[in-house]
Amino acid sequence: MIRRPRYDYDLLVLGSGAAGSTAALVAARADKKVGLIEADTFGGETPNWGDIPIKTLMGVAQLYNRIQQSHQFGLDTSRVDFDYPAIQHWKNTVVERTGAGDNEHYYNQQGIDTFYGKGVLRDQHTVTIGDHEVTAGHILIATGAHVTQPAIAGIETIDWLTPRTALKLSRPPRSLLIIGATTTAIELAHFFATFGSTVSVAEQSSRILPTEDEEVSEAVSSLLQRDQPLSVLTQTTIRSLMRGPSGNVIVQYIRGGIERTMEVERVLVATKPEPTIDIGLDNAEVTYSPDGGVEVNQFFQTNVRHIYAAGHVLGNDVPTHTVLSEGRLTAHNILHPKSQMTLDYELVPRATFIYPEVASVGFNEDDCIKRDLKINKVLVPLGMIARSNTSDFREGFVKLISDKQGVLLGGTIVAPRASELIQEVTLAIKHDLTAEQLAELPHVFLTWSEAVRTAASKLSRK
Read off φ and ψ for residue 194, nearest 5 degrees.
-60, -35
The radius of gyration computed from the CA coordinates of the chain, to the nearest angstrom, equals 24
List of domains in the chain: 9-44+101-146+274-345 (3.50.50.60), 155-269 (3.50.50.60), 356-460 (3.30.390.30)
Supply the pLDDT for residue 462. 85
Q: How many residues does the chain have?
A: 462
Reduced to 3 states (helix: H, G, I; strand: E, B; else coil), residue 359 is strand
Please determine, for residue 145, whether its predicted confidence score (pLDDT) is greater than 60: yes
When the pLDDT of each residue in the chain is averaged and rounded to a whole number, the result is: 95
In this prediction, residues 1-11 reach a mean pLDDT of: 78
Bridge partners of 397? 381, 414
Which H or E run contains 26?
Answer: helix 18-29
Is the per-residue pLDDT at 291 higher than 80?
no
- How far apart (Å, rounded) are the C-alpha atoms in residues 130 and 118? 7
Q: How far apart are CA 118 and CA 86, in angstroms?
A: 35
What is the percentage of the chain residues whose pLDDT exceeds 70? 99
Distance CA 364, CA 357 (A): 17
Q: What is the pTM assigned to this prediction?
A: 0.93
Average pLDDT (114-121) is 98
Q: Is 109 exposed, middle or buried (0-12, 13-18, 19+ CB in 10 A)?
A: exposed
pLDDT at residue 4 is higher than 70: no
Give residue 3's pLDDT band: very low, low, confident or very high (50, 70, 90): low
Q: Give start and end residues of each alpha helix (H) in 50-198.
A: 51-68, 84-98, 104-109, 163-166, 183-194
Question: What's the mean pLDDT in 181-187?
Answer: 95
Q: For the residues 178-201, what does the mean pLDDT come to?
A: 97
Q: Which of 93-107, 133-147, 381-395 has the lowest mean pLDDT?
A: 93-107
Q: Could you read off the pLDDT of 119-130 as tens digits, one per residue?
A: 999 999 999 999
Write out pLDDT tens, residues 243-256: 999 999 999 999 98
Say yes or no to pLDDT of 2 above 60.
no
| Angstrom distance (rounded) from CA 240 to CA 349 | 37
DSSP secondary structure string, 167-212?
TT-SS--SEEEEE--SHHHHHHHHHHHHTT-EEEEE-SSSSSSTTS
Distance from C-alpha of 314 to C-alpha of 289, rounded to nearest angstrom: 9
* For the chain, percent of residues with pLDDT exceeding 90: 93
CA dihedral 99, 104, 109, 111 (to 10 degrees): 140
pLDDT for position 100: 72
